[in-house]
Amino acid sequence: MSQAAAVSSADFDTEVLQSSVPVLVDFWAVWCGPCRRIAPELDAVAEQLSGKAKILKVNVDEEPDLAGRYGVQSIPALMIFKEGKLVDQMLGMSSRQVIAEKLQQYV
C-alpha cells in the first residue's frame, strides 16, 4: 500500500495549496516505468517525513487539467508546494536521499 495518497482536481486546493505542511506532488501515470520505479522511494520519504510533510500523487491521465495547470510535459514530475506556492520541482527518477534532502529544505 502506497504511503502517497491520490489527489484530484476536486481536492487539490484543499490538500496541497491550503496544507499547513509542505507537500510533494508526484505527477505520474500507470504506464510510466520510471513512475513505478520511483514509487517505493517516495513511500520511504513519506514515512521518514511523516507529520512534517505530505506526499501526494496526481495521475496525469485521470487529471489532465491539473497536469496542464502546472505545465507537466514529462513524468515523473515531482513538485514541492509550500504555503500554497510551487517552490521547487524535480523531473525524472531520483533516489529517496535526493528527494528527502530537497523536501527537507522546506520543512
67-97 residue pLDDT tens: 999 999 999 999 999 999 999 999 999 999 9
Secondary structure of residue 39 in the 3-state scheme: helix
This prediction's pTM: 0.95
pLDDT of 3 over the 90 cut: no
Predicted local confidence at residue 37, as pLDDT: 95
Could you tell me the three cell numbers for 41?
522511494
Q: What is the CATH number of the domain that holds 10?
A: 3.40.30.10
Catalytic residues: 32, 35
Which domain range does residue 25 map to? 5-104
Identity of the amino acid at 100: A
63 near 11, Cβ under 8 Å?
no
Predicted local confidence at residue 4, as pLDDT: 85
For 7-50, write each residue's pLDDT tens digit: 999 999 999 999 999 999 999 999 999 999 999 999 999 999 99
How many separate domains does the chain show?
1
